Structures are given as C-alpha cells and as structure tokens.
A and B are shown apart, each in its own frame.
Chain A
Amino acid sequence: MNHNRQSNDGKHDDDSALSDFLASLMDYTPTIPDELVEHYLAKSGFQCPDVRLIRLVAVATQKFVAEVANDALQHCKARQAAVVKDKREKQQKDKRLILTMDDLSKSLREVGIPVTCSDVLKKNGHAFLFFVFND
C-alpha cells in the first residue's frame, strides 16, 4: 500500500512538472517557425492536433542544433588557444569565430553522424555526407 501511495505521489509530481513544462512551451517561441515544423510533420506522417507537441519537436531540434554548434565552437576555441602567439592575433581570431567543416565534422561524429569531406570537395565548397540515422 505504501509503495502504491508513493508511486501515486511521484506520478502526481511528474504530471505537474511536465504539465508546467508544456504550459511554458506555449510561452516560448522556438527559432524554427511552427509552419515549417508542421510542413516536415506532414511530410513524415506525424499526425497530432496538439500545438504543444509541435512546439516540443521544434524545441528538441533547436536543442540538438545548439548542442552541435556549441561543440563545434569549443573545438574552434581549443584550436585557437593552441595557436595563439601574440595578444593581437588572439583578439583578431576571437572576432572571427568561423564555423568550419572540420569543427562541424568532429562535433557531428560525437553525436553519431560521421561526416567526410575530402580536400577536393572542399575546394568546390561541397560536403559529402554519410548519414547513419535510426529509422
């Protein structure tokens, strides 16, 4: 009986925490617009009349992209810290935080997406991708 009571209380807490989160989702505007997300949902066969779940998907994608970009930023900064010689050079490079294919491929490999980009393709400005996504 005690176990049941605890589980019920726990469920109630989780319900309230999640319901607060879903309510706060309506306040938060994700960067990816709702219409664009709805287009991708329709393309993939996701049917849901609830707006909150659409926002949840948009927020999840935004979080993923932000994590990948953050990892790439860390790689970029780590490389700059190793190369710094003078103070002037450091200031110049801080302003020029550029997202490159090298940093991006390293951070994507950590997430499970191996990306290869040979030198020949780099010259033409294209990238060759291998995607390993669970379907």
Chain B
Amino acid sequence: MRKSRSKRKSNIHLQQPTVNPRDFQFMITKVAVSQICKSVGFRRSRVSALETLTLVATKYLETLVKSAASFSNAASRTQSNILDLTNALHDMSLQVGFMGASTLYDHNNNCLLKSSVLESLSDFVSSTNEIPFAKPIERAKERESEEGNAVPGSFQERGGHIPEWLPRFPDVGGTNENCDKRVYGEQLWENSSSVLGCQIDGFEEKRCGSNNVGKLPKGRSRIKFRVNNGGRTRVGLNGISCNNVFGQSKDEEEAEPVAVCEKSVKSEEKQILVYKRRKKLC
C-alpha cells in the first residue's frame, strides 16, 4: 500500500494524547522540513520519505554541532566560536566538495574566514526568500528580575541545583569587568569592533552586562609583609619594640621606626660616654 500525504500542515493529527519528547521535537522538525520541500517545488510526499529526510536533517544538525563542540574542546575551550563552526562545516561538506577543499590545511594560505562554504551560505541567505515556521511559536517570557527582593545566593541567583541551606559562594570579585578582558586586548572575532559596527538595531545580545560588584569599597595603600628571625627585636610603628615573627610595615613609614631606633641608640651611647669621662677625672 502506498500512502501519499498532502503538504498542507495546518492540521497535525496527534494519534496519542501524550507524546514522548523525542517524538515531539521530531514532529516539529518534520513540519519545518516539509516547508523546505514545499519551497523547493514538491507538492506531495510519501510519509516514509518525509520521515527519512527529517531524520537526516536532525542527524546532520547534531553531527555538525557535535564536531564544532569537539573542535572547541580540542582548543581547550568550552564555548564554540565561528571558526569552530567553519571547521565543522568543512568536515560535513568534504563528501560533496567545495572550493578550496584541497588547500584547507596549507600553512601558507589558510584563512578560515575566507572559506567558500561560508560564502555559499551567504549567497543562499541573500537569494532565497524567508520561510517562517508554519506554527506560531510562544517565546519564553522573560522572568522579571527581582534584584531588590532576591537574597544574594538564593534560588534566583545560583539556580535550583544548589540547595538553599548551603552558604553563599565567597565573593571573589569575579564579576569585575576587567576579569573578562585579556592583557593584550584579544577578543573573539565576532565581538570585534569591525563586526559589531555592522550590526542592525534589532540585534539582541544574550550575554547580560556585568556589574561592578567586585571593586574594593575604599582605596588601600601598598602593604609589605616581612618575615623576621626569632631573636631579633624590631621597633614598631609606635616606638614599641615587638618580638614578632611576622612584622608589618608600610612603605611610607618605613624610614621612621629606623630613625627612632637610631636616635635612642645614640642617646644611650652619649650617656655612656659621659659616664666614662667622669670616672677618669676622679
């Protein structure tokens, strides 16, 4: 028996009231794939062929993304960037072939950003019409941020995977803006000024802005710590000698205790000298 099915996807007939998650995403992908087939020119399709094409599309997407993730992991990164994605696209397109595939790993002339795969993708985007998804999509409503009410370290701040009865994380000052910047000003290519300058107004950034939380409350002068030997005494800041193993001094006032010490030594010496002279006279 051969079945044929029309392309109108306005009514998706669910045979079961409860759908597995795997089936659910498969059915959504099937709708998108059938829309693409319709745009190419097909009017009808066999059920088996459509399901096969949907499966192929999902496998392609997953494989592309997995190889991009493994490229980024090989470079000791957790977040993938456009270069990882370009390398993954090259891997997926080697069977079909593309311009410059033979000189991919040539050390002299190799620029990933110049790849023909990306060029063909940009041609595809510019030439084909948009085909929005057939069904309306509910956007996830953004939760209202309750910064005033939320206790720092609560569920909203650190997620549900950490029990609330555990104490807060120590404030390491990691949210400081300077922590994200590199010493020599390196940054991801897609965040560079030349790329961001071409942005349209409707561009959304997923990353939220960082707050200056980690700054010190007040300025602190330079502090030096010295390790003293056990028997030696040192004159402290107030003229009080202390027999500490770890002394603490500030750079600006370092000269003073030494001067005080010298003065007291000199006066002792003078007293001793006077005492000696008197003895001789007698």
Question: Given the complex, which residues of A lie within 8 Å of B113, measured CB to CB?
Answer: 11, 14-15, 18
Q: A50-B206, A59-B124, A125-B47 are in contact. Are A113 and B56 (CB under 8 A)?
A: yes
Question: Given the complex, which residues of A lie within 8 Å of B96, measured CB to CB?
Answer: 110-112
Q: Size of chain A's interface in residues, with CB distance under 8 A?
A: 80
Q: Is the CB of A44 within 8 A of B62?
A: yes
User: Nearest chain B CB to A73's CB is how many angstroms away?
Assistant: 5
Question: Given the complex, which residues of B lie within 8 Å of A65, measured CB to CB?
Answer: 33, 36-37, 53, 56-57, 60
Question: Given the complex, which residues of A lie within 8 Å of B195, measured CB to CB?
Answer: 15, 18-19, 22
Cβ-neighbour of B60 out of A14, A16, A26, A64 (below 8 A): A64
User: Nearest chain A CB to B190's CB is how many angstroms away?
Assistant: 6
Q: Is the CB of A32 within 8 A of B29?
A: yes
Could you give 14 example pairs across A and B, Cβ below 8 Å?
A18-B113, A19-B195, A31-B131, A32-B61, A41-B65, A44-B65, A47-B80, A61-B64, A66-B36, A69-B40, A99-B37, A100-B45, A112-B95, A113-B56
User: Nearest chain B CB to A54's CB is how many angstroms away?
Assistant: 9
Q: Is the CB of A21 within 8 A of B125?
A: yes
Q: Is the CB of B78 within 8 A of A60?
A: no
Query: How many residue pairs bridge A and B at CB < 8 Å?
Result: 236
Question: Given the complex, which residues of B lie within 8 Å of A26, measured CB to CB?
Answer: 199-200, 202-203
- Enumerate the 8 nearest inter-chain pairs by beta-carbon distance, A residue then B residue, closest first: A112-B95, A99-B45, A19-B195, A21-B122, A46-B65, A69-B40, A98-B44, A44-B65
Residues of chain B touching chain A, judged by Cβ–Cβ distance below 8 Å, are: 1, 3-4, 25, 28-29, 32-33, 35-37, 39-53, 55-69, 78-82, 85, 89, 91-92, 94-96, 111, 113-114, 118-122, 124-126, 128, 130-133, 137, 140, 189-190, 192, 194-195, 197-200, 202-207
Question: Given the complex, which residues of B lie within 8 Å of A25, measured CB to CB?
Answer: 125
Q: Is the CB of A49 within 8 A of B206?
A: yes
Q: Is the CB of A16 within 8 A of B95?
A: no
Question: Given the complex, which residues of B lie within 8 Å of A120, measured CB to CB?
Answer: none
Question: Given the complex, which residues of A lie within 8 Å of B48, measured CB to CB?
Answer: 101, 117, 122, 125-127
User: Nearest chain A CB to B5's CB is how many angstroms away?
Assistant: 9
Q: Is the CB of A20 within 8 A of B198?
A: yes
A23 interface residue (CB < 8 Å to B): yes
A70 to B124, CA, bound (A): 14
Tell me what chain B mostly uses at the interface: helix, strand, loop, or mixed.
Answer: helix
User: Nearest chain B CB to A109's CB is how many angstroms away?
Assistant: 10
Q: Is the CB of B190 within 8 A of A134?
A: no
Q: Is the CB of A44 within 8 A of B69?
A: yes
Q: Is the CB of B137 within 8 A of A100?
A: no
Q: A37-B61, A98-B44 are in contact. Are A31 and B199 (CB under 8 A)?
A: no
Q: A48-B79, A134-B67 are in contact. Are A61 and B42 (CB under 8 A)?
A: no
User: Nearest chain B CB to A79's CB is how many angstroms away?
Assistant: 14
Q: Is the CB of B132 within 8 A of A31?
A: yes
Q: Is the CB of B28 within 8 A of A23?
A: no
Q: Can you name the residue of chain A whose Cβ is closest to the Cβ of B43?
A: A97
Q: Is the CB of B44 within 8 A of A96?
A: yes
A113 to B37, CA, bound (A): 18
Q: A15-B195, A24-B122 are in contact. Are A52 and B190 (CB under 8 A)?
A: yes
Q: Is the CB of B36 within 8 A of A31?
A: yes
A114 to B96, CA, bound (A): 14
